Structure 1
Amino acid sequence: MNIPVVTVGQSREDLVGGLERLHGPVTVVRRCSELPELLAACQSGLARAAVVAEGSEGLTASLVDRLGAVGVAVIALTDSADEAARLRGIGVASALTGVESAVLSDRVEEAVAQVTGGRPRVTHSSSAADTGAALGPVPAEPLNSQEEPALGRIIAVWGPAGAPGRTVVAANIAGELAAEGKSVILVDADSYGASIAAVLGLMDESAGLAQACRLADQGLLDADALRRVATPIATKLGSFRVLTGITRADRWTELRASALAIVLERAKQIAEVVVVDTGFCLEADEELSFDTMAPRRNAATLRSLELADTVYAVGAADPVGVPRLVRGLAELETAVPQAAPIVVMNRVRASSVGRGPERQLRDAWERFGPASELKAFLPEDNAAADAALLGGSLLLEVAPDSPLRRAIAELVCAPVQQKSKTSVFSSTAGRKLKD
């Protein structure tokens, strides 16, 4: 197997010559003077591996993801233990600057085998240009073996266009789980209309998620850094942390999929449950579908849904919201086939669907809906919802006896008693939510 390699930086004089004298599978096909030139060479299909002999500090998770997308493994040379640890965090293999040519050749072979055997290639086709399948995000790189394993679970709250109540549901899910004694991080990953900060009455001056993504992209996000960036929220029954969303819609480029995957992985290290409020759109950017390296606005939503252990699909229970949810679920199945969403009808009321609204919705769903079963109904309670929004609080604080609050608690807490001991919810099985 021949492995063409490009290099960047001025290392030892015999780095290239040493590899060539081995007469092994590794062949240096180009020497580059800087990282942009190396990236261009790799994107042209010239190489399968890149050796960064100098300037490894310029490597970021986004750059490594772009190289990985075209099947190129990255190996950096450094004598710094801290830099080597940072590089491992963004998926880069490292070696000492004085490494022997034979050892470096072996490292290159190992890195290439990991990229081609452990990570799927990103493929794009014109037929899939309008769906999330065109993105084909790759899984996050394995964590440094010295770090704590990620034991938490990810809950993604998604819904179609039309404000079906994703944010309110996500925020109150986080609150109810915190009230159950879970450690929780709430993440606002909506790249169109982030509003978790407004719902919780927080100062919307900085975007916690964008800060975390920047640190992750640089390989500097560890558990302590994430705790510093996430805003603590205290309620009467428990506390949780929040990564607030972007403050302007045009900042969506800061939510790169590769960096967000690292953020969610780190969040799972410090929290039992990570609740993600996602955006609604599942389409790939059609104008950019020809360019596999261009940032995608909906990548944050798609990556969150791909990494989620549980997906709640929230729809509005009215003649407009139900058809939107049906179409949205079909798009979700195409974009993220493994999602298996739990379908939730929100704002259920007799005035919009007739007497016996739950029965009416179930009958209509069985006749016209997709295969996904309706799992839960959240009743409309405008008074409680308005009071919570006005006070920047959760339902469990301003309206603990609200039927809406109890329905959300049952949605995420009642199944706890039926979970096995291997579940993150098992430690509090049998406990009842206290008002």
Structure 2
Amino acid sequence: MSIPVVTVGQDRDLVGGLERLHGPVTVVRRCSELPELLAACQSGLARAAVVAEGTAGLTASLVDRLGAVGVAVIALTDSPDEAARLLGIGVASALTGVEPAELSDRIAEAVEHLTGQGHASRSSMADTAALLTAVPAGPGEGPDDPGPGRIIALWGPAGSPGRTTLAVNVAGELAADGKDVILVDADSYGASVAAVLGLLDESAGLAQACRLADQGVLDAAALARVAASVATAQGTFRVLTGITRADRWTELRAPALAKVLERARQLADVVVVDAGFCLEADEELSFDTMAPRRNAATLRSLELADTVFAVGAADPVGVPRLVRGLAELEAAVPQASPVVVLNKVRASAVGRGPERQLRDAWQRYGPESAIHAFLPFDGQAADAALLGGSLLLECAPESDLRHAIRNLVCAPAQQNRKSSVFSSTAGRRAKD
């Protein structure tokens, strides 16, 4: 079966050589620039794209958009550095003087590999370079493998259940426990980690990291440069602050965010993600299915997470919201297996014996997921931390809320139990 190909660049020898082969590859259009190529591919004209000029314009988002419509990408370059960058964003590379027959074989392999990966069902970038590259990459220049670090995502329904407060304090407790931690604010509606931590120089570190990842130049040094450092009395962790305005959500695209999180897990023991609340697949509401997704940051964070904490407020409004939200979470991210946490537990909102009341109600009306932890309401300690831009371990080290959060992620007894956060994620990885 013939493979239709579009090209970018004025390399007449390349096009002529492919056409003279009379083989499985047919050049159906020569484009002058990448936007024209993208339009041709989105119209269903081609199954492969050969970029002979302008490879600097290839980004992870563009490769993802091409992969989503079933188009594999091969770029021609003689620069080892550019080949390594392209490899990092999922593009196969070959030398500019590659023989037409060899290039034809590589195009066929790239299309077969892309089709075999079932890219259309994924929201991450195409990995057409996994099997194909003519320019060997040096050590550490290949595609990013999942690092040893864990990703913990904190999610909860609308209504301020306490996701951000829990996220920053989880990061602080893990850092105090000796872990290397990176905290990521991926809330595309109301990023607030910087404000909670009292970071005055709010420069949207996550957006900067996503731009670098999109260009394929996000390395360890670059990530350290855009991440803010937060020092506490018991440990230090790094923070990728969120977008400064809600209308900047287009800067948090799924392919770039995936690269940021994978790079972060290579550098840190634990990556803590404060995710947004909305799980709606908003691209389904538009005729332009290739448009950026408002909720891509939340969905991609939950897809990549080893552990998802589902946080709900323990009151007559928050609990039903969490129950409905868990059903939406199961539909949107079936592999999530959330760890349910009820926050702000207090007798004044539930009645005497609040934990017993909540557990009984959950067993009668809630989903199959059991309640993993109850976090007590401590408004005075939480307000003191917010006012001082600090963590509970600094302003209220003996508070019940601080101890409950620490026991949630750091208790040695939990780590030896099958239901613990770290042992359960390790078990899932072993099965995979």
Give TM-score, length-normalised by structure 1.
0.91
Report the AA paired with residue 299 of structure 1.
Answer: A
Taking the TM superposition and a 5 Å limit, the aligned residue runs for 1:76-225 are: 76-122=75-121, 137-138=123-124, 141=127, 144-145=141-142, 150-225=147-222
Shift of 1:19: 1.3
- Give the structure 2 partner of residue 282 of structure 1: 279
Distance 2:249 2:109 in 1: 35
Kindly indicate whether the alpha-carbon contact (under 8 Å) linking 1:153 and 1:424 is maintained by their aligned counterparts in 2.
Answer: no
Shift of 1:147: 6.1
Shift of 1:148: 7.1
Kindly indicate whether the alpha-carbon contact (under 8 Å) linking 1:189 and 1:245 is maintained by their aligned counterparts in 2.
Answer: yes
2:293 alignment partner, SS class = coil
- Give the structure 1 partner of residue 231 of structure 2: 234
- Select which of 405, 409, 427 maps to 1:408: 405
Distance 1:54 1:368 in 2: 60
Report the AA paired with residue 242 of structure 1.
Answer: V
Shift of 1:2: 2.3
Label 1:149 to 1:402 Cα distance change in 2 as closer, same or farther (>3 A).
Answer: same
Is it true that 1:260 corresponds to 2:257 in the alignment?
yes
Is it true that 1:66 corresponds to 2:52 in the alignment?
no
Higher relative contact order (CA 8 A, sep 6+): 1
Shift of 1:150: 1.5
Q: Deviations over 1:61-97 (max 9, x none)?
A: 1111100110101111111111111111111111111
Distance 2:226 2:423 in 1: 28
- The answer to which of 358-367 and 104-113 deviates more is 104-113
Kindly indicate whether the alpha-carbon contact (under 8 Å) linking 1:199 and 1:392 is maintained by their aligned counterparts in 2.
Answer: yes
1:227 alignment partner, SS class = helix
Distance 2:114 2:336 in 1: 25
Label 1:140 to 1:361 Cα distance change in 2 as closer, same or farther (>3 A).
Answer: farther
Kindly indicate whether the alpha-carbon contact (under 8 Å) linking 1:152 and 1:424 is maintained by their aligned counterparts in 2.
Answer: no
Shift of 1:416: 2.4
Shift of 1:286: 5.9
Shift of 1:289: 3.0
1:224 alignment partner, SS class = helix
Distance 2:364 2:335 in 1: 24
2:142 alignment partner, SS class = coil
Distance 1:144 1:334 in 2: 37
Is it true that 1:324 corresponds to 2:321 in the alignment?
yes
Distance 1:140 1:376 in 2: 38
Shift of 1:425: 9.9
Label 1:358 to 1:148 Cα distance change in 2 as closer, same or farther (>3 A).
Answer: same
Shift of 1:104: 1.0
Label 1:146 to 1:74 Cα distance change in 2 as closer, same or farther (>3 A).
Answer: closer
Kindly indicate whether the alpha-carbon contact (under 8 Å) linking 2:84 and 2:141 is maintained by their aligned counterparts in 1.
Answer: yes
Kindly indicate whether the alpha-carbon contact (under 8 Å) linking 1:140 and 1:261 is maintained by their aligned counterparts in 2.
Answer: no
Kindly indicate whether the alpha-carbon contact (under 8 Å) linking 2:67 and 2:119 is maintained by their aligned counterparts in 1.
Answer: no
- Give the structure 2 partner of residue 45 of structure 1: 44
Shift of 1:146: 7.3
1:121 alignment partner, SS class = helix
Distance 1:223 1:425 in 2: 25
Q: How many residues align?
A: 411
Kindly indicate whether the alpha-carbon contact (under 8 Å) linking 2:171 and 2:183 is maintained by their aligned counterparts in 1.
Answer: yes
Kindly indicate whether the alpha-carbon contact (under 8 Å) linking 1:159 and 1:280 is maintained by their aligned counterparts in 2.
Answer: yes
1:163 alignment partner, SS class = coil
Taking the TM superposition and a 5 Å limit, the aligned residue runs for 1:245-394 are: 245-285=242-282, 288-394=285-391
Among the aligned pairs, what percent are the same residue?
Answer: 79
Shift of 1:26: 1.4
Distance 2:119 2:145 in 1: 26
Distance 1:406 1:98 in 2: 64
- Aligned-residue CA RMSD in angstroms? 1.9
Label 1:150 to 1:192 Cα distance change in 2 as closer, same or farther (>3 A).
Answer: same
Shift of 1:149: 5.5
Distance 1:95 1:423 in 2: 43
Shift of 1:238: 1.0
Report the AA paired with residue 235 of structure 1.
Answer: T
Distance 1:147 1:166 in 2: 29
- Give the structure 2 partner of residue 21 of structure 1: 20
2:340 alignment partner, SS class = strand
- Give the structure 2 partner of residue 54 of structure 1: 53
Shift of 1:291: 1.5
Kindly indicate whether the alpha-carbon contact (under 8 Å) linking 1:194 and 1:246 is maintained by their aligned counterparts in 2.
Answer: yes
2:46 alignment partner, SS class = coil
Kindly indicate whether the alpha-carbon contact (under 8 Å) linking 2:307 and 2:425 is maintained by their aligned counterparts in 1.
Answer: no
- Give the structure 1 partner of residue 136 of structure 2: none
- The answer to which of 287-296 and 339-348 deviates more is 287-296
Report the AA paired with residue 106 of structure 1.
Answer: D
Kindly indicate whether the alpha-carbon contact (under 8 Å) linking 1:140 and 1:262 is maintained by their aligned counterparts in 2.
Answer: no
Kindly indicate whether the alpha-carbon contact (under 8 Å) linking 1:153 and 1:309 is maintained by their aligned counterparts in 2.
Answer: yes
Kindly indicate whether the alpha-carbon contact (under 8 Å) linking 2:88 and 2:143 is maintained by their aligned counterparts in 1.
Answer: no
- The answer to which of 163-172 and 149-158 deviates more is 149-158
Distance 1:288 1:24 in 2: 41
Kindly indicate whether the alpha-carbon contact (under 8 Å) linking 2:205 and 2:241 is maintained by their aligned counterparts in 1.
Answer: yes
Q: Deviations over 1:107-139 (max 9, x none)?
A: 2122212211124314xxxxxxxxxxxxx5236
Shift of 1:226: 0.5
1:186 alignment partner, SS class = strand
Shift of 1:102: 1.5
Shift of 1:324: 0.5
Kindly indicate whether the alpha-carbon contact (under 8 Å) linking 2:182 and 2:240 is maintained by their aligned counterparts in 1.
Answer: yes
Kindly indicate whether the alpha-carbon contact (under 8 Å) linking 1:154 and 1:268 is maintained by their aligned counterparts in 2.
Answer: yes
Shift of 1:284: 2.2
Shift of 1:301: 0.2
- The answer to which of 47-56 and 22-31 deviates more is 22-31
- Give the structure 1 partner of residue 2 of structure 2: 2
Report the AA paired with residue 82 of structure 1.
Answer: D
